[in-house]
Amino acid sequence: MIILLATLPLIAYLSMIAFQSMQLAVRNYQCQLVPYSLGVVIFYSYCVLYSFPPFPDEIFSFQAFLFIFSIWLLGFIDDRLGTSYPKGLKGHLAFARKHRKVTTGLLKAGGTIMVALLYLWSKQPMTFVQNLLAFFLLTGLPHVMNLFDTRPLRVWKVALCFTVLLFYLLPLPPLLFVVTVLAVFYISFVLEGHRKVMLGDNGATVTGAIFAVILIHHSEVTLQFGILLFVLAIIVLSEKISLSGVIERWSVLKRLDQLGVSKK
C-alpha cells in the first residue's frame, strides 16, 4: 500500500509523458489532443495490490489479473487503432455486416465476452444464476464505464459512487482503503479535470472490469441483480439517445457533471 501511494504520482507523470512522446492521444470533445494514459495509472494500481495483496482474496488471484489485463489490452487496442465511426454496438455490427470488416470496437466486444467466459470457467463452480449474473457484469460494466467516458471526470464520478457502495462490502482496513482511494482519485481528478490526460477506452473499461470482479466475489445476488439492471438500462438507453444529452437537460446532473472540470 505504501509502495502504491509513494509511486503513483510518478507513474501518472511518466505515463503521460510517454504517451505524449509516442503520440498516443486522441481529440476530446473540445478537439484538444489529449493522451489517454490514465488507464496505465489504474492498471498499475491494481498490479501493485496484486503483487502485495493487503489480504488474501479472489480479486487478487492470477485469473483475475489475466482478466483485468485482457480488458485493459482490448481497450488500448481500440484506443490505438479504432476510429470515431461507427458508434455503439449496433453501429459496429451494422458496419461489419455491410463492409465485411471487423472493427476494433467489435473486436473489443467479442474479446470481452471470450475472456469473461474463460475467467468464469477458471473459477470455482457457481450456480447457474450466479454464473449468469457474473457474466453480464463482467461484460457489461466495462462497456457502461466506456459509455460514460465522453466528458472529463464523468467515469470517476460513477466510479466514486461504486467505491462508496463497496466500502461497506470489503474487509479492507478503513484508513488504508480511504487513503489509497483518495490518492488515486485526487491524481486522476487533477489531471483529467484540467484535460492534461484522459482515461480513454483502456482506462474506462479496466475500471469497469475491476468493479465487476469485486462485485461478483463480494456482493449478494440481490445487489448484483440491481446493478445489472442499471447496466442494462444504460446500455439500452445509449443505443437510442445520447447520455450527454440527457445529462445536459437535467440541471442537477449537469452541475454534477461539471463539478471539478476546469473552465479553461
* pLDDT-based confidence at residue 160 (cuts at 50, 70, 90): confident
pLDDT digits (tens, 9 = 90+) for 31-61: 888 999 999 999 998 898 888 887 778 888 9
pLDDT digits (tens, 9 = 90+) for 170-227: 665 565 566 666 666 777 777 888 888 899 999 999 999 999 998 998 888 998 999 9
Whole-number average pLDDT of the chain: 85
Read off the C-alpha cell for 157. 464520478
- Dihedral of CA atoms 96, 99, 104, 108 in degrees, nearest 10, equals 10
Q: What is the pTM of this model?
A: 0.91
Across 152-181, average pLDDT: 74
Query: Is the per-residue pLDDT at 256 higher than 70?
Result: yes
Q: Which of 12-21, 23-32, 200-209 has the lowest mean pLDDT?
A: 23-32
Read off the C-alpha cell for 224. 448484483
* pLDDT-based confidence at residue 94 (cuts at 50, 70, 90): confident
* pLDDT-based confidence at residue 88 (cuts at 50, 70, 90): low
C-alpha dist (Å) from residue 97 to 77, 91, 103, 106, 240:
21, 10, 11, 11, 20
Q: Which of 193-207, 227-241, 248-262 has the lowest mean pLDDT?
A: 248-262
More confident: 112 or 259: 112
Q: What is the pLDDT of residue 210?
A: 93
Query: In this structure, are residues 75 and 39 in contact, taking their beta carbons and an 8 Å threshold?
Result: yes
Fill in the amino acid letter for 135: F
More confident: 167 or 175: 167
Q: What is the pLDDT of residue 136?
A: 96
